Structure 1
Amino acid sequence: MSKILPKFLIVILTFIVILSSCRKKEFDEFYGRPENLGDPIYQQLQAKGKFTKFLECIDKAGYKETLSTAGSWTVFAPTDEAFKTYLQENSLTEITADLASKIVRYSMIYDGEKTEKLSDFFSVKGFIKNTAFRRRSVYYDFVYDEKDNNGNPIKAIATNRNGNYFAGDFNNKSITYFLAPFMAFSGLSAADYNFFYPNIAYNGSNVGPAHILGDQQNIIAENGVIHVIDRVLTPPLSIDQYVGSKPEYSTFKSLLDKFVTYGLNADISHRYEVLTGKAANVYVKSYSTLLGFSPNNENFLKVDANDAQQGSYSVIAPTNAAVDAYAKNVLLKYWRKKGVNTLNELYVVAPDLIRDYVNSHLYNTTLWPAKFAITQNVLGDITKQSTTDIIDKQVLSNGFFYGSNKSQDANVFSTIYGNVNLDPDYNIMKQALLYFNLTIPLKTPSIRYVIIPIPDVTLKKMGFSYEPFFVSQPIRGDLQALRRILQTHIIPLGNRAIPDFRSGSGILETSNGEYIKYNRNTLLSAGTQDSIAVAKQTIPVDSINTTPVNGAVVYGKEALTYTALNVGKHIERYGTVATDPYYNFFQFLFNNATLYNKTTGAISGVTDGVSYTVFIPTNAAIVNAVKAGWLPGNVTTGVPNFTATDGASVTLINKFIQYHIINKSTVVSDGQKTGEFETLLKSDSGDASKINVVMNTTTTLSLRDVTGATVNVLLGATDRSNVLSNRTVIHQINSYLKYQF
């Protein structure tokens, strides 16, 4: 037994040693350093022998250890030949430690990526193919010298978000590249690249102004990937930094500065003191959220943590001369009568105009040269400039910059809304349009309107005012009435020409379905025509502006009001004397107690707030209807029996009148509406009887009843058609309409 045990132990120990050796081999194979893995980035560059200048920069910048040990980096490594060119172009004899740090840190991006992956957006959901053209570099600015809003020198740091500051983010600058997969996928070409770099060939492997050398890309290292480039890259300025460095944009910068605030940051102040040994208050420079983005924010929208890989900001900055010209011709055009002569003064009294002007030049998306005509700025406007207007173009760290010899003509200024928006005499109307959310269509260039502005003095006389201190309801007065009045002053044009307000006449549908009329330099509404004073029944047209891109502005001193009268009262106006055109029709209506309220003029079935059209046969046509048995009276002579009270007669009157009223729609002679329309007359089962508008022009309006008979609206100068009432228009017709139940 004693001899067997040692032998057994020897066998067991031998087995354990063999097993351990096998497991170590498996461990090394799985976790060990692969034999074909290259040396770290620093050592590989050193071994190749043509990166001595770049290695010197790495040493000066203190990144030797970083690039010699573990990690995952993509490095765009410029050759010695690239440094030779860089030194010559910049008249340098050596690279300082500070410059070396900028070169090295900007040439490094996080995560080792082969070129085929650089065009993929690394989103929170994984890689999205061919949608990326930027990566976050190691480089970021820190504290710098600045002047506050009062011109006092301070220490500042750029914000890293739009509207706030996030302490855990260094605001790293991004490096922009133009690789073939992304360019093709995005519909871009060499022209987009060469617009920024006109003297550098595009080959689909461009990193800023450099090329990735085709046979020296995707060099795998232990701690990342090396791509050899033929030019030295240095960190570009941000949009904020670039605008501030160019005196030719100083006026535009002064407008941007009006939206800057400086907030003291204790943590950054402490970091600055620790790193420099100097105590100082450091302020975060932020831009108001009234702007589309903060031009000093190196991050993008941060909807996704890495969305700066696929998006950037853009700005078209007008030169000083361009700003001055636009201010003179547009922004200050109406304000000079108020003594406001500069943009600084305008900002005090109307800061929203300066805000909109600045925002019209900002894009929270990448504005590519090939896509000027389809890219929207932060106001939602399509770029109205072309690349021929651009005199300066830069690929900056947080977006594209274009310097222009023109200002963007924003829709809020160039449309019919612009006349109300820019003119201080119409401020109440402007604020009311904003309050009621009526501005969007008015400032849409593709939607055409006529607008009739209402002066402040008129609205104040009517009991309306604008009080901004009442935040929840700054518009004071009867809001329901004001909204209806405003909508009466907005006339959709569609594809029609601007009416001839000076020498023509016609009827126009307003934005709320009511109608107004114009006649040789005057305007009329249902409300103005009710005025006792004849002089106030129409409004004189003072002037007409047809320069807006989406219509015309017609100026008058008074407002087009609506009527408070019921429809019956307007029929009564032309139906009380036997010679009146509506007499026979109105007498049947007036004496029908089940259908008409003699005191108020209300017609049963006609509801307040709903649109209607009333067709009134001529007196002769009513006589013919009596003869034909459609109305009570003498069938031989046609003399109507207006006061018939028997059930059958009352039913005839009710049905006749109801069939002559279109329900829920107004039809006039404007060439706009044709087709089938329901009337107030309904069958016992509740089905509405209908009539057809078969022809509608500015001179002809024809109807067809259910029997197929055609009736014409009388549109002569002495006829009573297109008569305005309460959301209703009344017409005289040459015959009567026949129903079938």
Structure 2
Amino acid sequence: MRITFPRFLIVFLTVIFFLSSCRKKEFDQFYGRPENLGDPIYQQLQAKGNFTKFLDCVDKAGYKETLSAAGSWTVFAPTDEAFATYLKDNNLTEISADLASKIVRYSMIYDGEKVERLSDFFSVKGFVKNNAFRRRTVYYDFVYDGKDNSGNAIKVIAANRNGSYLSTDFNNKSITYFLSPYMTFNTLSAADYNFFYPNSSYNGSNIGAARLVDGQQNIIAENGVIHIVDRVLTPPQSIDQYINEKADYSIFKGLLDKFVTYSLNTDISHRYEVLTGKAANVYAKTYSTLLAFSPNNENYLKVDANDAQQGSYSIFAPTNDAVNAYAQKVLLKYWKKKGVNNLNDLYVVAPDVIKDFVNSHLFTTTVWPSKFSTTPNFLNDMTTRTTADVVDKQALSNGFLYGINKAQDASVFSTVYGNINLDPDYSVMKQALLYFGLTTALKTPSLRYVVVMIPDVTLRKMGFNYDPFYASAPIRGDLVALRRILQTHIIPLGDRAIPNFATGSGILEASNGEYVKYAAGKLLSAGTQDSTVVAKQTIPVDSIGTTPVNGAAVYGKEALTYTVLPISKHIEKYGTLPTDPYYNFFQYLKGSILYTPATGAISGITDGVFYTFLIPTNAAIVQAVKDGLLPSTGAASLGVPNFAPTDGLDVTKVSKFIQYHIINKSSFVSDGQKIGEFESLLKNDGGDAAKVTVTINTTTSLMVKDVTNRTVNVLLGATDRSNVLSNRAVIHQINNYLKYQF
């Protein structure tokens, strides 16, 4: 026993040693440094001998250890020749420590990547081919000297999010490159590159103004990848930095400043004191979320952690002359009568107009020079400018800047909505349209409208007002009624010409399905015609403001109202006397089981639903009596109507006849717009509706066909009672009756 145990122990230890030796060998083979792996970035550049200036910058910047140790970097290294050119072009004899730091940090991007990978967007879901043209560099700005909104000198740090600042984010600048895979995939060309870099030659291997040196790309190092470039790259300014230093944009910059807030940040104040040894309050400069983006934000939207690789901002910055010209012609056009003569004063009384003006020049996407006409801005407009209007162009760290000599003509100002948006006499109408969400179509250039303007004084007289102090319900008054009234004042044109309101006549369908008539410079709606004051039964048109973009604004002093009367009351209006055009029809209606005398209600007619009443002439009713479709007094051949039948079959005849002459769920008029099949109120035992067909519809002719293929004409003469407006309904006189088959 004493001998066996030591022998066992020796054997056991020998096996452990052998296994350990084998495992170490496998570990070294798997995890050990490969024999063919190049030296670290610093040592490789040092060995090449043509990067002494760049390595001198690395030393001054304190990055020698970083580029000599483990890590994963991509470095765009400029040659000594590139530095010689840079020093000469900038009239320098040496590189300062501060400049050296900028050059080195901007030449370094996170993660070692070969050229082939730089065009791929590294999303949270993996690489997306050919979708990247930027990478985040090591460089970022820290605290700088600035001024607050009152002009006081303060220490400032730029926002790193749109509308906010996050202390844990350094707001690193990105480097922009123009590589063939991305450019080809996105149908971009040398022209897009040379627009920004006219003195550089494009070859699809361009890093900013520099080019990758042929044969000196993808140099693999222990701690990353080296790409040799032929120019020294320095970090460009952000949009905010650039526009703040250019006097040509000082007026537009002043408008941007109206949306800036400076907020004390204790974390950065402490960090600043630790790094500099100086105590100071540091304020984060943030732009309001009312703007499309923060011009000082070096990050992108942050929908994806790395989305700045595939996207950037764009700004069309109007020069001072461009802003002034547009302000006088457009923005201040209506406000001058109120004593508002400059943009600062306009901001006080109408900040949303200034906001819209600024946002019309901001794009949350990359606008390439060849894509001006296809890239929408924050307001969803395509730019109205061309490359010929560009007087300055910059590929900046967080996007492209185009200095323009003409301001963007935004749709919120140039469309029919602009008449409402800019005129202070129509502010209640504007706010109500915004509240009800009725502005989008009006400011869409491709959609054409006539808008009948309602002055503030009129709306207030009707009991409507706008009070911003009631944030949740700023529109005061009967909201259901106001919405219906507003929609009646919005008239889609489609492809039709703007009507001749001054001397012409016609009928137009409003956006809510109700109709408006015009004749000889006056407008009429179902509500105005019911006025007991003759002078108020129509609205005189004072003037018409046309826009080449999408329609016209019609000005008057009153509003187009709707009627609260039941439809039967408008039939009764022309059906009381035997000589009235609707007399026979109304008498049958009044004596039918469909009619409620106390209220004037018609069975089957529902509030909020649209209808068309086709009323045969008195003679046509007599003919229907003779043909046996309506009950008679005495022999049918005599054609004497029996307006109060008691026989069950006769009662049913009357109901069916009336129901077949009422079109359900739709109104149509002689405007050339609607043709085809329409359901009537009449239904068979299975619940299927009997139909009629509008076969001809022009401004001078309206023809309807019944199920037996008989056609009738709507009488459109000056003395005929057609296109009569009612409560979500239109009433027509027809020259014959419609015949049903069940």
Structure 2: gaps spanning 5 or more residues: none
Q: CA deviation at 1:301?
A: 0.7
C-alpha displacement at 1:21, in angstroms?
4.4
* Residues 89-488 of structure 1 mapped to structure 2, 5 A cutoff: 89-488=89-488
**Aligned equivalent of 1:543:** 543
Report how far residue 625 of structure 1 moved.
1.1
Please list the CA deviations of residues 297-343 of structure 1 after superposition, one character each: whole Å capped at 9, or x if unmatched. 10111111111111111111000011111111111111111111110
Q: 1:647 is matched with which residue?
A: 648
Post-superposition shift, 1:6? 9.6
Following the alignment from structure 2 to structure 1, what is the Cα–Cα distance between the partners of residues 664 and 290? 46
The residue number in structure 1 matching 2:509 is: 509
CA shift for structure 1 position 632: 1.6
Alpha-carbon contact 1:416-1:548 (below 8 Å) kept:
no
Matches within 5 A, 1:549-698: 549-592=549-592, 594-633=593-632, 634-698=635-699
User: Helix, strand or coil: the match of 2:636?
Assistant: coil
Task: Give 2:623's aligned amino acid.
Answer: N
The whole-number CA distance in structure 2 between the counterparts of 1:152 and 1:581 is 80
Quote the RMSD (CA, aligned, Å): 1.6
Deviation at 1:656, TM superposition (A): 1.0
- Contact 1:596–1:603 (CA under 8 A) maintained in structure 2: yes
Q: In structure 1, the residue corresponding to 2:57 is in which secondary structure?
A: helix
Q: Deviations over 1:151-190 (max 9, x none)?
A: 0100000011111111111111011111111111112111
Letter in 2 for 1:652: K
The one-letter code matched in structure 2 to 1:631 is L
Write the distance in 1 (CA, Å) between the matches of 2:10 and 2:603: 115
Secondary structure in structure 1 of the residue aligned to 2:716 = coil
5+ long unaligned stretches in structure 1: none
Secondary structure of the corresponding residue to residue 196 of structure 1: coil
Measured in 1, the distance between the counterparts of 2:52 and 2:20 equals: 46
CA contact (8 A) 1:618 1:733 kept: yes
Query: Any conservation in 2 of the 1:316–1:404 contact (CA below 8 Å)?
Result: yes
Q: How far apart, in 2, do the equivalents of 1:382 and 1:82 lie?
A: 40
Structure 2: how far apart are the matches of 1:19 and 1:686? 89
Query: Aligned letter for 2:480?
Result: Q
Separation in 1, partners of 2:637, 2:62: 116
Alignment-derived partner of residue 726 in structure 2: 725
- 2:229 is matched by which residue type in structure 1? I
- Alpha-carbon offset, residue 499 of structure 1: 1.2
SS of 1:681's equivalent in the other structure is strand
Pairing 1:79-94 to 2, within 5 Å after superposition: 79-94=79-94
* Alignment correspondent of 2:713: 712
**SS state at 2:637 partner:** coil
Instruction: Give the Å deviation of 1:2.
Output: 11
TM-score (norm 1): 0.98
| Per-residue Cα deviation, 1:600-655 (whole angstroms, up to 9, x for no partner) | 32211111111000011111111111111111224232121223222222211111
The alpha-carbon distance between structure 1 residues 18 and 586, as it changes in their structure 2 partners (threshold 3 A), is closer
Render the CA deviation track for 1:357-387: whole Å, top value 9, x for unaligned. 1011111111111111111111111222111
SS in structure 2 of the partner of residue 452 of structure 1: strand
Measured in 2, the distance between the counterparts of 1:701 and 1:470 equals 49
Shift of 1:545: 1.3
Q: 1:345 to 1:8 in 2, by over 3 A?
A: closer
SS in 1 for 2:195: helix
Distance 2:426 2:375 in 1: 32
Whether the aligned pair in 2 keeps the contact of 1:57 and 1:95 (CA below 8 Å) is yes
Aligned CA distance change for structure 1 residues 6 and 558 (closer, same or farther; 3 Å):
closer
1:17 shift after superposition? 5.8
Distance 1:347 1:568 in 2: 52
Q: Distance in 1 between matches of 2:78 and 2:375?
A: 35
Query: Given residue 679 of structure 1, which amino acid in structure 2 is its aligned partner?
Result: S
- What code does the residue aligned with 2:672 have? G
Contact 1:87 1:93 survives alignment (8 Å): yes
* Residue identity matched to 1:659: Y
Q: Residues 25 and 526 of structure 1: is their aligned pair in 2 closer, same or farther, counting only changes over 3 Å? A: same
Distance in 2, matches of 1:734 and 1:75, equals: 87
Shift, 1:501, TM fit: 1.0
Aligned residues of 1:569 and 1:600 also touching (Cα < 8 A): no
Residues 21/668 of structure 1: CA separation in 2 closer, same or farther (3 Å cut): same
Following superposition, the deviation at residue 92 of structure 1 comes to 0.7
CA distance in 1 between counterparts of 2:103 and 2:498 reads 61
State the TM-score, normalizing by the size of structure 2. Answer: 0.98
Measured in 2, the distance between the counterparts of 1:244 and 1:213 equals: 35
**Separation (CA, whole Å) in 2 of partners of 1:18 and 1:576:** 118
Secondary structure, counterpart of 2:577 in structure 1: coil
Amino acid at match of 1:408: Q
Once the two structures are overlaid, the 10-residue window that deviates more, 650-659 or 327-336, is 650-659
Q: In the superposition, relative to structure 1, how do residues 83 and 683 fare at CA in structure 2: closer, same or farther (>3 Å)? A: same
Which residues of 2 match residues 2-151 of structure 1 at below 5 A?
20-151=20-151
What is the rounded CA distance, in whole Å, between the counterparts of 1:178 and 1:412 in structure 2? 35
The percentage of counterpart residues that share the same residue type is: 76
